[in-house]
Amino acid sequence: MPRQPDLPFTLYVLDADALIRLKTSKRLAQLKNPGRSTLVPERVRNELRRAPGWREWLDTHRDNISGFIGRESDAYLTLLRQEHPKVHDGEAAAIAIAMHRRNATLVSEDKAARQKAQHRGVPVITTQEFLQKWWPTRPHR
């Protein structure tokens, strides 16, 4: 049975799709709110660094970025090698980290990543659900 999201001090692990949607909704700067734990895998950072308009945000949010710890790198390599469903580099990194960090929830829009994470017992929410949890009194589109 999957772990339940929203345990105290939930760690939200975001992939590139989630960050792009947060930027579009103008909520990206608020990821540094006190009491909110978010993490961006280094592999996701590397993907976004190549896209225009991300370098400054990534440079000023280094505390949100993490590499692999312990068995996460092995899980990442396993996820990348699996074909069905196939996930990309950043999604595989986000899933691997969410699998091994306590009280972690994956925030993703990628269907294959969501399926793969859920199959491994990782709680998954969409960016919209993430926004509703963080800013429940404001409507989101």
At 21-64, the pLDDT tens digits run: 999 988 887 776 655 689 999 999 999 999 988 998 898 888 88
pLDDT, position 7 = 45
DSSP string, 28-90: GGGGG-TT-EEEEEHHHHHHHHTSTT-HHHHHHTGGGEE---TTHHHHHHHHHH--TT---HH
Based on its alpha-carbon atoms, the radius of gyration of the chain, rounded to whole angstroms, reads 14
Q: Which of 24-33, 34-43, 89-98, 115-124 has the lowest mean pLDDT?
A: 24-33
| pLDDT > 90? residue 123 | yes
> Mean pLDDT over residues 2-30, rounded?
80
pLDDT, position 3 = 52
All domains of the chain in start order, with CATH: 11-134 (3.40.50.1010)
